[in-house]
């Protein structure tokens, strides 16, 4: 209502609304009416950090200015200026922790700074600020990274347990470890060191650790941390999830070394095979002595190019031998047969129900419903004929046919069990449709008085 009145002093009335996204729906509607026909002397300044929460009808009538986030370095420099003005001694790392906690907000940084000064007096240290803000010390991240590089799994688990006992959240820890490894990766190159949002005293420490971390190690660790961050909220045992991630990160270098050794073992085999093939295709050189020998002998001489020289190691031969060994092993497994014990229809039904219950427990309810509703017959040749209702059920059974047979044969100790899937046609309904006249005739036979009623009142059937 006060917007309508012109200012007594000055040319404009300026209204500043902070955190405008917190207005209620009724307040937004009232404000929209004012914006539709604003007085010439009224100016509105809306401030918010969540622009998407403002209704579009108001946002479309505004001139929008997007301000950049304040860097942690600028915030810590401003806090240092305030501290010098107020005669407060400080450690640069302490101010940097406050800037990180403020998350780009200078007003929040100043509030935290006031709280820390009121609590600790006129001397701010890194240790007191970390304890009061409940922020995990960066030394823990340096220690964890060193343990990962040296594959010291017990130390990793004990350090993580110590962090949890101090009341820190495992999710915040894994996110902080990801930020730490990102800073280490950025420190590897002198061109990207400027991307570090840390104090100058910490940069040499990151640079030193970066020299001991390979780029593949850092990338795989960051990928594991990112995956853990996404699946943390849905995990039923979050601590085990984080511990498994740390264990996988500890043995990344070992896995890389094993892959490199396998690659080095295969390369000589390829090179040796190629050398032998080149030697076989090369033109032969026959000496004069050999020519004399050829002239004096009656036996035919095989040209050198047709000779088959077998290398000491051939990759194709190794693959062939491996496949032969695999087939022999498979044959030996196939030869291990059951005693083919006799069984009856009830035992077959019990085995099928056991298989169906196992699939139901695994979450396959469609297969469970198909097996429990199917009609089963057993022939003299141990062939189980399963009658189902439609093509969809047939496809479900066909997909698990071999697994079903293996399971049932194992339960019955009989390798001769077979399966035949058939679709059973639904019986054709022979029910007769009764007309109203048929119904009346049937009721009249039961109660003859209906005929007398119809005749006396001259009634007609309603068709």
Q: Are strands 89-90 and 375-378 parallel, antiparallel or unpaired?
A: unpaired
Task: Label residue 463 by pLDDT band (50, 70, 90).
Answer: low
Full set of structural domains in the chain with CATH? 2-59 (3.40.50.300), 72-133 (1.10.8.60), 138-250 (1.20.272.10), 261-328 (no CATH), 345-423 (3.30.300), 432-463 (no CATH)
| 8-state DSSP, 282 | S
Higher pLDDT, 326 or 345: 345
pLDDT, position 438: 82
Determine the pLDDT at residue 260.
Answer: 60
DSSP code for 299: S
* pLDDT bracket for residue 292 (50, 70, 90): very low
Q: What is the pLDDT of residue 192?
A: 87
Task: Give the mean model confidence (pLDDT) for residues 357-362.
Answer: 88
> In this predicted structure, what is the pLDDT of residue 321?
53
**Greater model confidence, 287 or 255:** 255
pTM over 0.85: no
pLDDT band at residue 274 under the 50/70/90 scheme: very low
State the pLDDT at residue 257: 63
Measure the CA–CA gap between 443 and 459, rounded to whole angstroms: 15
CA dist 355 and 346 (Å) reads: 14
CA distances from 354 to 150, 244, 325, 410 (A): 49, 34, 35, 12
CA 252 to chain centre: 19
Ordered DSSP codes for 144-182: HHHHHHHT-HHHHHHHHHHHHHTT--HHHHHHHHHHHHH
Judge contact between 83 and 95, C-beta under 8 A: yes
For residue 279, the model assigns a pLDDT of 47
Handedness of CA 280, 281, 287, 288 (dihedral sign): positive
Q: In the predicted model, is pLDDT for residue 185 greater than 90?
A: yes
pLDDT of residue 272: 54
CA distance 112 to 101: 8
pLDDT top residue among 76 and 120? 76
What's the whole-number average pLDDT of the chain?
A: 81
> If you average pLDDT over residues 109-128, what whole number do you get?
89
Query: What's the whole-number mean pLDDT along residues 283-289?
Result: 45
pLDDT at 441 over 90: no
Nearest in space to 124 (alpha carbons), one of 85, 106, 97: 97
Contacts of 324 (CB under 8 A, 6+ apart): none
Looking at residue 39, its pLDDT comes to 87
pLDDT at 327 over 90: no
pLDDT value, residue 45: 93
Residue with tokens 């942690």: 72
Instruction: Output 225-234 pairs: Cβ under 8 A, ≥24 positions apart.
Output: 225/174, 225/175, 225/177, 225/178, 225/181, 226/178, 228/174, 229/171, 229/174, 229/175, 229/178, 232/170, 232/171, 232/174
pLDDT at 319 over 50: no
pLDDT tens-place string over residues 149-179: 998 999 999 999 999 998 999 999 999 999 9
pLDDT digits (tens, 9 = 90+) for 200-258: 788 888 999 999 999 999 999 999 999 999 999 999 999 999 999 999 999 887 766 66
User: Which pLDDT band holds residue 329 (cuts at 50, 70, 90)?
Assistant: very low
């Amino acid at each position: 209502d006060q917007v309508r009145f012109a200012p007594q002093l000055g040319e404009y009335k300026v209204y500043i609304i902070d955190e405008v996204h917190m207005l209620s729906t009724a307040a937004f509607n009232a404000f929209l009416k004012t914006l539709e026909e604003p007085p010439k002397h009224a100016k509105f300044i809306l401030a918010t950090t969540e622009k998407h929460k403002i209704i579009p009808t108001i946002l479309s009538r505004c001139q929008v200015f997007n301000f950049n986030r304040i860097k942690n370095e600028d915030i810590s420099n401003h806090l240092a200026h305030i501290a010098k003005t107020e005669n407060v001694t400080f450690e640069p790392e302490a101010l940097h922790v406050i800037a990180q906690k403020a998350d780009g907000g200078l007003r929040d940084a100043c509030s935290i700074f006031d709280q820390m000064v009121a609590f600790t007096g006129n001397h701010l240290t890194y240790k007191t600020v970390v304890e009061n803000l409940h922020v995990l010390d960066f030394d823990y991240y340096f220690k964890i990274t060193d343990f990962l590089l040296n594959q010291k799994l017990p130390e990793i688990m004990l350090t993580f347990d110590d962090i949890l006992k101090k009341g820190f959240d495992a999710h915040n820890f894994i996110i902080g470890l990801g930020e730490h490894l990102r800073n280490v990766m950025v420190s590897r190159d002198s061109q990207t060191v400027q991307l570090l949002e840390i104090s100058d005293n910490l940069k040499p420490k990151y640079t030193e650790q970066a020299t001991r971390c390979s780029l593949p190690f850092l990338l795989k660790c960051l990928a594991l941390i990112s995956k853990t961050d996404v699946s943390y909220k849905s995990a039923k045992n979050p601590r085990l999830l984080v511990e498994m991630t740390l264990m996988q990160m500890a043995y990344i270098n070992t896995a890389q070394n094993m892959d490199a050794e396998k690659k080095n073992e295969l390369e000589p085999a390829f090179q040796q095979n190629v050398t032998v093939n080149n030697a076989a295709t090369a033109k032969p050189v026959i000496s004069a002595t050999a020519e004399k020998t050829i002239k004096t002998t009656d036996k035919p001489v095989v040209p050198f190019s047709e000779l088959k020289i077998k290398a000491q190691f051939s990759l194709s031969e190794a693959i062939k031998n491996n496949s032969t060994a695999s087939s022999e092993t498979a044959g030996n497994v196939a030869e291990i047969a059951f005693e083919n014990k006799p069984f009856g229809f009830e035992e077959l039904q019990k085995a099928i129900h056991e298989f169906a219950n196992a699939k139901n427990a695994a979450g396959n309810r469609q297969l469970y419903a198909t097996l429990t509703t199917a009609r089963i017959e057993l022939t003299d040749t141990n062939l189980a004929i399963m009658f189902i209702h439609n093509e969809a059920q047939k496809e479900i059974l066909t997909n698990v046919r071999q697994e079903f047979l293996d399971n049932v044969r194992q339960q019955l100790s009989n390798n001769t069990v077979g399966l035949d899937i058939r679709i059973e046609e639904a019986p054709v309904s022979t029910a007769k449709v009764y007309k109203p006249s048929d119904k009346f005739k049937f009721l009249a036979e039961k109660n003859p008085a209906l005929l007398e009623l119809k005749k006396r009142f001259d009634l007609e059937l309603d068709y």
